[in-house]
Structures are given as C-alpha cells and as structure tokens.
Amino acid sequence: MPILVISNSEHSLVAEIANGITVDFDQPEHAYATIIASIKNTAIACVLATDDSCVELCSRVAEYLGLPQNRAGAALLTQRKDLGREALEKSGCNTPGYQVVAIDECSPASLEIEYPVVVKPLALSASRGVIRADNDAEYTAAVKRIDAILEATGQRGFVREHLLVESYIDGEEYAIEGFVIDGRFMLLTIFDKPEPLTGPYFEETYYLTPTRLNARQQDELVREVANCCAAYGLEHGPVHAEARLSVSGPILLELAARTIGGQCGQLIEFSLQQKLEELVIQGMCGLVPHADEAAESAGVLMIPITDAGILKRVEGLTAALQTEFIRDIEIHINPGYELIPLPEGASYLGFIFAQAPEFEQTHAALKNAYAKLRFITQPKWELESSTA
C-alpha cells in the first residue's frame, strides 16, 4: 500500500526518499488546506498521526475523508493536560487533586493542594517542564523555571500563561499500549517502569515487557485506561497511556492518541513478534490487531541526559554492546552537539535494547550495559557581546 508522508519541516528530506509533502504544523488551517488539496482524487485508506503535534490535524483530515477517526475535540484533550483532567473528573475517573493556575498569580498562598505537588505545563510532552515541589520555596522555583521553558519553546495564549498543579501520586508507574476500535479499548501490552520515578524531575528511563503485574492488577489498570479513553471520547486509533498504581487504584497520568514514541516501538516487535506499524495499520483499517503471545522479556533504556554541556565522545560502546542479552545500542546525539537535561531538555542521548528469557535478566542487562558507557562532555562556552 503506498504511503503519503506529511512532514513538519522546511528542511525535510521526505520528498527525496518517499512520496510526501511538507507543511507547518504551527499553522494548522494552512496545513489542513494544503493536505486536502494534495490528496484530492487519491484513495486514502487511513490517516495516522505519529506525533503529538499532529493528532488533531490528522483527525480533521480523516473526518473530511469520512474515515474512522477520533473527533478533533477528543484529540485536543490528549494534548491539553488541563482539559483532559476536567473530562476525567466529569466522567468519574480516578484523578488526583488538581488546579489550573495563572503564571503571574502563582504564589504559594493561592495553592489549594497540599504538598507534595507536581507542576506541569499544559501542553508540552515527554516530561518536559514537569517538576515536583515539596514546599513553598520549591514551588516558587518550579514556576519560575517552567515559565522560562514556555518562553523558550514559543508557547502562546492560554497554555503560555497557565500551569497545571497536581497532587503528587505515590506508586509504581506503567505504560499501556493499546488500540481503540469503535470505542472499545484493546490492550497490546503493558510496560513496567522498574526504576522509581519520584522527582524532582520525571525522566523516563527503563521500559520492560511483559509486565510483572498479576492478572487482577492488569485488569484494574486496563479497565481504568479504557474508562479514560471513553471519557476523552476516543473512538478509533492507537493509544499510549501512562498511569500509576496508587493505594486508591490506578490513576492516569497521560493519555496520547498515538503509539509509543520513537525507537521504543521496537519493543513491540521484540516481545509480540510483530511490527508495531503492522498492528497499527491493521487497526486503522478496521481490523482488530492481533499479536502473538510474548516469547521473551524485552526492554529498553532511554539513555538519560544527566549533565549539561557539549558532547565530545562516547566511550565504552563496544564493551556495552558485548553485554549478555543486549540486542542493540543507538546513540542519537552526535559529538559536538549540546546536551540539555530535564526539565528543559526534550531528547534522549540514545537507546539500549535488551531481550532475555526473564524480566530480571533483561533489566540487569540494560543496567550493566549502561554502566559501561561514559559520556565525555565539555562546558558550553557563551560568547558575550561587548560595546566600544
């Protein structure tokens, strides 16, 4: 089946390597008009978003074509944390205490939630700008830091001027991958996150599957994600959810109308013996995705950026690759490029993949390989302008 790729980059190589066009996702009306004009008299079987930045646009295109899709309003809820929380609360889903606050009025005295709290931008993804605060001083510092991040990322309007403050949820965290067809959520797999995510920042690192949760815990988690999908009004397409198992039950953290991000999709193929892309296209075309039972444990370590600076080189790569059960290591930031840790950063250094007969062996392989890597950096030099 031929594929038309829509890319958001003036320097995109899509036209050189695939059938595609480029649009500016920051100008959705113009992008929509360009896409519609480009696909006239073309038979389209499905429209699939591969990134948070285009889920609402894809919904509008699919709606124009009369294809199964999530309504644009439902897709918007997956991109706006504040609107998503409101929808979940109205539907009776399990939510933490939360409060939407204006940045210029963010004094500790205005907080209605007890510490610890988690302060979040309304629209950024991948844990960017998400900060835990345990007292007034940390809260004030977090607001100031997120304000600078929003300014640097070019956010505008309500999402630039407001933040979401939530009660911190204690408990193990999980990622849930699934698909919605005709409003019914179907599970593909659950990823464990075996390393504690307690803050002050919440960079994701280890994903392992199949989960160690028992059948009852899995049912509770999947049931809550399905309820949240219904609360958002999601009707058709892939779903990637993040949730914690608290003392009061599962609580949704994030819900995205897309697949798991980036290179982590390879875990689906490792564990379910079928490519994620194949499963998603089946579902988008109305076929219930079917995956074989997992034969072995599979896992990934999203290599965190721990130190700011300019990357000079990566040492120990050969030794790390020779670690038992390691399948591959990908370094995605080249020497000479700047490393920016969370909460300001928005990328990983790379990925380590492992597959072993047992969960514990996979986890240990990832940790052992990571321990052999050394990332050599140098400070970033800032040139100061001077006047005569």
- What the chain holds in terms of domains, given with CATH numbers, is 5-76 (no CATH), 97-167 (3.30.1490.20), 170-295 (3.30.470.20), 296-382 (3.30.470.20)
What's the pLDDT tens digit per position in 248-297?
Answer: 999 999 999 888 876 777 877 776 777 787 888 888 877 776 655 555 78
Dihedral angle over CA of 282, 88, 52, 331, nearest 10: -90
How high is the pLDDT of residue 100? 96
Instruction: Indicate yes or no: pTM above 0.85.
Output: yes
Those residues of the chain that have pLDDT short of 70 are 1, 9-18, 262, 271, 289-295, 382-388
> Greatest CA span in the chain, whole angstroms?
73
For the CA atoms of the chain, what is the radius of gyration?
21
**How confident is the prediction for the chain on average, in pLDDT?**
89
- CA–CA distance, 296 with 298 (Å, rounded to integer): 6
E strand residue ranges, 97-183: 98-102, 117-121, 131-133, 162-167, 172-181
How high is the pLDDT of residue 292? 58
